[in-house]
Amino acid sequence: MTSETSAPNRLDTTADNLTEDSTQQGLTAEQYKRKMEKRKAVQQQRLAERTVEKGLIIVHTGNGKGKTTAALGMVLRSLGHGYKVAIVQFIKGAWEPAEKAVFEPWSEQLEFHALGEGFTWETQDRDRDMAKAEAAWNVALTYIQNPTYRTILLDEVNIALKHGFLSIEPVLAGLAQKTPDTHIILTGRGAPKALIDQADLVTEMKLIKHPFREQGVKAQPGIEF
Ligand code: ATP
Ligand code: MG
């Protein structure tokens, strides 16, 4: 996947330059103090010039672990702020009972739908996969069009897009209908470029090591579910 990074502004660059050598070795105590004073002032200016608030289209993609977990962290934060949250899971079983149980006390704020199939090698039925993915998308759309939901997680929707079970056009058109305050998080490997282009916040989890691969370690409670 290619991801373009947009140009940072002048203050961002100054901040980066001031902390470029993170050990700051070779500086006297006085030099270090002055540099950090300057860094703090830059940081205060950076915070002051960021005044915009908006609902974001957020994409978690890539082959490394953490796409769904990071999205769950945002769900947790949203619930803590009293927001209504909807989760539509595009792959059945991706969501484990432990997470479901934790969210049980939040049932007044949280709607949860497990609507996917296993996909591809599990179902071995492409027409059925497509019908399931489309049905899941239609449920997602009802939340996107409902302004009372502030955070919407479409877990593993990128997989449905990647396999062509769901077309990108209606998804982009649906995302464009969201209310300005609403955050929508789309997770899964292989997010299409058109989705990345429309998103505001995109993170690619990069695989460096995974014990399932290198050590034959199975999925473990607390880590994977
Ligand atoms: P998580 O749900 O742990 O945040 P994820 O959403 O980034 O993971 P998925 O592609 O949805 O990753 O895969 C879900 C499951 O597969 C998790 O149990 C995860 O630990 C495991 N997994 C993720 N990446 C890898 C990998 N590179 N190799 C093997 N297993 C992986
Ligand atoms: Mg996942």
DSSP states of 88-157:
EEEETTSS-HHHHHHHGGGTTTEEEEEEEE--TTTT--HHHHHHHHHHHHHHHHHHHT-TTEEEEEEETH
Mean pLDDT of 145-151: 97
50 is catalytic: no
Mean pLDDT of 72-89: 96
Pair of tokens at residue 141:
């759309």
13 is catalytic: no
pLDDT band at 1 (very low <50, low <70, confident <90, very high): very low
Distance CA 192, CA 208 (A): 22
Tell me, in angstroms, the distance from the centre of ligand 1 to residue 73's CA.
15
Distance CA 22, CA 197 (A): 32
Q: What is the pLDDT of residue 198?
A: 98
Q: What is the pLDDT of residue 6?
A: 62
Distance CA 191, CA 71 (A): 15
161 CB-side CA count, 13 A:
24
Task: Answer yes or no: is the C-beta of 219 below 6 A from any ligand 1 atom.
Answer: yes
CB 132 within 8 A of CB 93: no
For the chain, give the mean pLDDT. 88
Task: Answer yes or no: is the C-beta of 132 below 6 A from any ligand 1 atom.
Answer: no
Mean pLDDT of 157-162: 95
Distance CA 74, CA 77 (A): 5
- Ranges 51-55, 59-63, 123-127: which has the least confidence: 123-127
35 is catalytic: no
Distance CA 76, CA 56 (A): 16
Tell me, in angstroms, the distance from the centre of ligand 2 to residue 178's CA.
23
What's the Cα-to-Cα distance from 222 to each of 75, 219, 225, rounded to whole Å? Answer: 17, 9, 6
Task: Answer yes or no: is the C-beta of 32 below 6 A from any ligand 1 atom.
Answer: no
DSSP code of residue 202: E
Measured at the CA of 17, the angle between CA 13 and CA 21, to 5 degrees, comes to 150
Of the candidates 5, 194, 157, 150, which has an alpha carbon nearest to the alpha carbon of residue 68? 157
Mean pLDDT of 83-103: 80
156 is catalytic: yes
Q: What is the pLDDT of residue 185?
A: 98
Sheet holding 57-61, edge to edge: 110-117, 84-91, 149-155, 183-187, 57-61, 201-204
Ligand 1 pocket mutation pick from 1, 60, 61, 65 by most atoms within 8 angstroms of CB: 65
CA of 207, nearest ligand number: 1
Output the residue whose Cα is nearest ligand 1's atom 29.
212
Q: What is the pLDDT of residue 180?
A: 97
Q: What is the pLDDT of residue 9?
A: 80
Mapped onto helix, strand or coil, the DSSP state of residue 190 is coil
Q: What is the pLDDT of residue 162?
A: 94
Instruction: Give counts: helices (H), strands (E), the chain.
Output: 9, 6
- Ranges 1-10, 17-26, 92-101, 186-195: which has the least confidence: 1-10
pLDDT band at 2 (very low <50, low <70, confident <90, very high): very low
Mean pLDDT of 24-41: 88
Mean pLDDT of 131-145: 95
69 is catalytic: yes
Output the residue whose Cα is nearest ligand 1's atom 21.
65
